[in-house]
Amino acid sequence: MTELPISADLIAERNALHAEALEEDYAALGRKLSRTGIDIDAIKDRVAGFSVAVPSWGAGRGGTRFAKFPIAGEPTNIHEKLEDCAVIQQLSRVTPRVSPHFPWDKVSDFTALREEAAALGLGWDAVNSNTFQDQVGQAHTYANGSLSAQDAATRQQAVDHNIECIEIGRQLGSTDLTVWVGDGTNFPGQQDLGRSLDRYLEAASKIYAALPDDWRMLLEHKMFEPAFYSTVISDWGSSILAAQELGPKAKCLVDLGHHAPNVNIEQIVARLHRFGKLGGFHFNDSKYGDDDLDSGSINPHQLFLVFNELVEAELNPRDGFNPSYMIDQSHNVTDPIESMLSSAETITQCFAKAQLVDRAALHAAQEANDTMMAFQALRRAYNVDVAPILAKARMEAGGAIDVLEAYRLSQYRGRKAQERKAVGLGAGIV
């Protein structure tokens, strides 16, 4: 392994300063949990086994549809992105995989890229295709759709790109392909709504046929944007119907921001699991629409309720329950590394809180129609401050007790600002 981006001595020195207080907090929480029959070390072990991928594109600044404001030291290629992702993993110890996006992250030697990532302590998660924007030299435009386009040559171009992504993923060691298309309409009558779905399914079936035996095809739905009148795969209903038609290797991917306001996302989780089609999550938060805000920054309780359903699903598995977890955010005004460190901690906190739910009490209250006691079973777990558990698990894995403190003291961003080429001003999120 090459030298990691953050000094191990710095992490050790800061941890030494915090260790005594952490042990006191951990012991106190352990005593509290033991009164309800919970072994804190068992929960810590569960946390130590949890992980969530980070997106390569998340290492850079995002933006609105109108403007992007770069940050000094922002990565300009996949190699620099990997270095930033390694910082997140080194400090948090829950983000060991990177999800790449093509053609943004394309290189000439993917075997070498896989080795480069491994040297930084990273593996590869789902590969993401891009048929929602045109690339330089592209033969056919996606302005009128990709997998659902009326033009057969355009559809085949989109199919070929996805199959290329599968081959890249095989070289990297991935086993998942995430397919999101921006296909849709902005005016009534613009397309035949039934035929556009037929075209999507016909094209998607060609991608599905190219999947290796151990791969999954994760279908990501989104209610709106870039199309604002209709979207071909707009909701979990469209997604699960498409996945059922494609076959058992097709699953549904839930992005927490891709729903109408106030939709009960945790119920969607339960429904998808019921039919064996729950494939994974893109974690972020939302206030108005697909805001791609930091995970848990707006509604951490909803994130907890999602994980509560995931714990229920794990206890009652169907069809090889193995959801893929990834952070998918747009860091418009923060340091992307800090946002993903914060989000990784929030996501892991909600996972840990869901482990604390008294399942026997919850199920008994549900069967007895005791609404208040069922709610209180969830609320008691949600109210527990699990920070000592997470910090202890991080420390034992070689991470930082206080991740943001260690990151800022490392002056990593300032060093990269001196080393890297500046990113120019841009319009839009990419």
Per the listing, tokens 């005593």 go with: 31
d(CA 198, CA 48): 44
Q: Are strands 230-231 and 184-185 parallel, antiparallel or unpaired?
A: antiparallel
Q: Which residue has the tokens 């290492």?
A: 59
Using CA atoms, how far apart are residues 297 and 338, in angstroms rounded to an integer?
13
Helix and strand totals (H; E) in the chain: 15, 11
Longest dimension (CA), the chain: 67
Both tokens of 101, joined, read 């996006």
Q: What is the C-alpha R_g of the chain? A: 22
The DSSP code for 330 is: -
Length of the chain: 430
Other Cβ atoms less than 10 A from the Cβ of 87: the count is: 25
Q: What is the pLDDT of residue 275?
A: 96
> Which amino acid, one-letter code, is at 343?
S
Question: What is the Cα–Cα distance from 415 to 411, expressed in whole angstroms?
Answer: 6
Comparing CA positions, the residue from 380, 386, 377 lying closest to residue 347 is 386
Residue 53 three-state SS: strand
Which tokens in the block code for residue 169? 């993923």
Place of tokens 């070689």: 398
Q: What is the pLDDT of residue 428?
A: 53
Residue ranges for the chain with pLDDT beneath 50: 429-430
CB of 132 within 8 A of CB of 180?
yes
Residue 252, SS3 per DSSP: strand
pTM value is: 0.96
Note the pLDDT of residue 430: 46
Q: Superfamily assignment of 50-341+404-419 in CATH?
A: Divalent-metal-dependent TIM barrel enzymes (3.20.20.150)
Q: Is the dihedral of CA 201, 202, 204, 205 positive or negative?
A: positive
Report CA 102 to chain centroid distance, whole Å: 16
Q: Are the beta carbons of 163 and 102 closer than 8 angstroms?
A: no
The confidence score (pLDDT) of residue 426 equals: 62
Residue 429: count other Cβ atoms within 10 Å of its Cβ. Answer: 15
